[in-house]
Structure 1
C-alpha cells in the first residue's frame, strides 16, 4: 500500500475542501442539539436530583453536543470527552418528574435522547482516527454498552414484557455501536482505496512520461551522435559535406524539441498543447531520418490498408519502430542493415523490426529501459511484444509487436 493510501486508512482527511466538511459537521451538531437537547435539559431540571447532580448532568449533555462539533477535526479527543460524559450519565441518579411520569417511572439519565450523540462520535474516531484508536474506541464502546445494560436492566416500559424490553435494549445498544463503528471503518477503507487508485494512476502516468521522454530523447540523440561521429571523419576528407551533416543534426534536434514541447505542453495542460502525436503516417519519415543517419533500412507497408487504427495504437506502433531502430543504431554494429515491416493481419496490427547485426551479444545482460518501455507501451493497449535474437536468421535481432487494430479512424 502506498503512503497516501496508508494515510487515508489511518484517518487523514480525504480530498475536497476541508471547510465544507467542517460546515457539514457543524450542521449535524446543530441539528442534534435542536432536536435532542431541549428534552434532556427539561428532564434534568425536573428530575429532582439535587443541585450538584443537576449541574453535572446538564454539563454532560452540553459536552456531548459540543464534542460532535469538533469530532471531524479532533476525533480521538472528542470521543474521549464524549465517553466521559456518557459515563456521567450512566452513573447519575434516576430522574423523576413529568418526563418520568410519562415514561412510567424514574429512569437513568443515560436514556436521555442526547445519548445518541455518542454514535456520531464513535463513527468519527472509527473513520478518521489513526491506528489503534478505532479498535480502542470499539472496546470502550462495548464496555459502555455493558455498563448501560446493567444500569437500566431493571427499568420497565409499560406494555412490554420484561424479557422483551431487555432484548430490545441489548440489541439496540449492540447494533447501534457496531453499525457506527463499521460505517466509520468502511469510510476509512473506501478513502484508502481511492487514494491507492490515485497513486497507481500517478505511477502509471510517470511511467508513460518516462517512456515518451526516453523514446524522443534516445532516438534523436542516437541520430545526432552517429552523425557527429561520422562527421569528424567525413569533414576532414570532404569539407563540402559539413553543411549536409550539420543540417541533419539540426533537423534531428529540432524534431526532438518539437516532440518535447508537445509532451511538456500536455503535462502542463496548456491550451493548444494538443499537437498531433506521430502514428503510422509518420513511419516513412522516421525511416528516412534513420537512413540519413547512415543506417541501411528497408521499409515495407504493402500489407497496410489505407484505413488507420486508433491514434493510441498508431502511436504505439511508431514508438516501437522508433525504439527498435534506435537500438539497431546503437547496438547492431558497423555495416548493419535493418528491415521494418508494418502490416495488418486480421484484427491485429503487426510491427516487426529486424537487423543482421551483432545478435544476442548486443543485448547481453538485463533488458534496458528501452525494451522495458516498449513492452509496457504495447501491453498498455492490449498487445504482445517479443524481442530477442532473430530465429530465422540465426543472427541479428528481432522486435515483433502485435497490436489490436480496434475501431478504425475516419482518415483514409
Structure 2
C-alpha cells in the first residue's frame, strides 16, 4: 500500500513568519496615523488632534493581536472585536485597520470550534448593521445638518457590503477547517490500513514459517533415517565385503550434507511439537498435481522434468508448493475459462518454475495486494518465505500480453 502523500503545509516557524508578514503589512498603517496625530497635536490641542491619537490607539489594538491568531483565536477575536466596538462609540468613520476583523473571524472559524465560528459571524453581522448606521448618521445633509433620516435605499446596500467581509471570512475559515479535518482523517485511515496490512503480512509469514518447519521436519527426519540405514549397511559391508563400504559411506556423506544444508537454511523456522509424519510431495508429484488440476476442468499445459530427476528434497517440496499455490490462485482469481501453463526446468545448478495464465492478471493483483510488500496475498507471501529459505528468487506480477505470472528460481 502506497503511503498517502501529505499535502504541503507551513510548519510552525513558517506559520509564525506568515502571521508576522500579514500583521506587518497592516502595521504600515500605524506610522501614517502616528505622524498625523503628532502633527495635529503640535499644531493645536483641539478635537481633531485627540481623534488622531484615538485612531492610533485603536489601530494598534486591532492589529497587534493578529500575531497570536492561530494559538489563541478566541482571545484575539475578543480583543479585535472589542476595539471595533470602541471605534463605533468613539469615532464616526471607519479605519483601515478594521481589516483585522475579518481576519480574526477567519481565525476563529478555522482554529476554534464551529459554534465559536458561528458566534463570531453573528457578531460580525450585527457589527455591520451598527457600523453602517453610525457612519451614515455622521454624514451631513445638503443643508449642513446631521443626517438622521437614512433611507432604506442607502442603508441596506451599505449593510450588505459590510456584511460581505465577515461572511466571506467565516466561509473560508470553515472550509479550511473542514478540509484540514478531512485530510487528517485520510492520513489517519491510511496509517491504520498500513499497520493492518503489516500485521496481516507478519501473521501470514509466521504461519507459513510454522508450516515450513513442520514440513521440513519430515525432510530432515528422512535424511537422518537414510544416514542411519546406510551407516548400518556400511558397517555390515565392511565386515562382509570391504569393497562395498566406500560406496555406502559416500551415500551417507552425501545424504548428511544435504540434510545439514536443509537444517542450516531452516534453523530459525523450526518449532517444537506438532510434527507431521505423512510423506511430503516430491518433484515427481507435480505431474500428479497437474493431472488433478486438469480433472477439475482447467485448461492446463505442462512442461516438466524427467521423472527420475534428483533434486534436494527441500527444494522439491518447495517447488511442489509453489506450483500448487500458483494454480490455486489461477482458480480463485484468473476468472472463468482461464488457461494456465506450468513449466518446471531443472539443470545442474538451479531449478526454475514458471506458472502463467491468461486471466485477469493486473486486476487480480490489485484486488489481492497485501500492503505493498511486493507480493500478492498471503499465499504468495508463503511462496516468498519458502523461496528465501532456499536462497532463491521469486517474481510475481502481470504477464506480458495479459494474465498473471509466477516465476521462481532456486539453486541446487
Distance verdict in 2 for CA 1:157–1:80, change over 3 Å: same
1:122, 1:137 within 8 Å by CA — same for their partners in 2?
A: yes
Residues 44-78 of structure 1, C-alpha deviations (whole Å, 9 max, x = no match) = 96895599877655433211110112212321211
Distance 1:177 1:252 in 2: 70
Please state how far the C-alpha of 1:25 moved relative to its aligned partner: 1.0
- Select between 169-178 and 140-149 the one with higher mean Cα deviation: 140-149
Distance 2:195 2:124 in 1: 45
Is residue 36–residue 52 contact of structure 2 (8 Å, CA) maintained in 1? no
Equivalent residue for 2:98? 115
- Is 1:377 matched up with 2:369? yes
8 A contact 1:227–1:245 mirrored in 2? no
| 1:191 paired to 2:180 | yes
Match of 1:248 in 2: 262
- Displacement of 1:117: 1.1
Match of 1:284 in 2: none
Q: Is structure 2 residue 158 aligned with structure 1 residue 169?
A: yes
2:81 aligned partner: 83
1:24 paired to 2:18: yes
Q: Against the structure 1 CA distance between its residues 77 and 347, is the aligned structure 2 distance closer, same or farther, given a 3 Å change threshold?
A: same
Structure 2 counterpart of 1:278: none
Distance between the aligned counterparts of 2:117 and 2:25, measured in 1?
Answer: 25
Distance 1:115 1:233 in 2: 90
CA drift of 1:195 comes to 1.7
Q: 2:128 aligns with which of 113, 121, 145?
A: 145
SS at match of 1:116: helix
Q: CA deviation at 1:171?
A: 1.1
Q: What is the CA–CA distance in structure 1 between the aligned matches of 2:23 and 2:56, rounded to whole Å?
A: 17
Match of 1:61 among 59, 79, 82: 59
Alignment of 1:182-331 (within 5 A): 182-228=171-217, 231=220, 235=224, 238-239=227-228, 244-252=258-266, 291=281, 296-297=285-286, 302=301, 325=325
Closer, same or farther in 2 for the Cα pair 1:379/1:16, shift >3 Å? Answer: closer
Q: Which runs of 5+ in 1 are unaligned?
A: 1-13, 95-107, 257-289, 305-320, 329-338, 352-372, 388-402
- State the SS of the aligned residue for 2:137: coil
Aligned to 1:377, the other structure's residue is in SS state coil
Contact 1:40/1:113 (8 A) holds in 2: no
Q: Deviations over 1:378-407 (max 9, x none)?
A: 899xxx99x9xxxxxxxxxxxxxxx97687
Match of 1:73 in 2: 71
SS in 1 for 2:69: coil
Match of residue 180 from structure 1 = 169
Deviations 1:72-98 (A, max 9, x none): 232121111111111111222x4xxxx
Flag the structure with larger Rg.
2
Whole-angstrom distance in 2 between the partners of 1:17 and 1:33? 24
Post-superposition CA distance 1:14-59 (Å, at most 9, x none): 9442111110111111111214772598489689559987765543
Could you state the TM-score of these two structures normalised by the residue count of structure 2? 0.53
Query: CA 1:171–1:22 in structure 2 vs 1: closer, same or farther (change >3 Å)?
Result: same
Would you say the 8 A contact 1:125–1:133 is kept in 2? yes
CA contact (8 A) 1:36 1:113 kept: no
Aligned residue in 1 for 2:389: none
Contact 1:122 1:180 in 2 (8 A): yes
Do the aligned partners of residues 297 and 213 (structure 1) sit closer, same or farther apart at CA in structure 2, a change above 3 Å counting? farther
Number of residue pairs matched? 284
Q: Is the 8 A contact 1:123 1:184 kept in 2?
A: yes
Cα distance change, pair 374–61 in 1 and its aligned pair in 2 (3 A): closer
Name the CA distance, whole Å, in 1 between partners of 2:400 and 2:118.
51
- 2:32 maps to which residue? 38
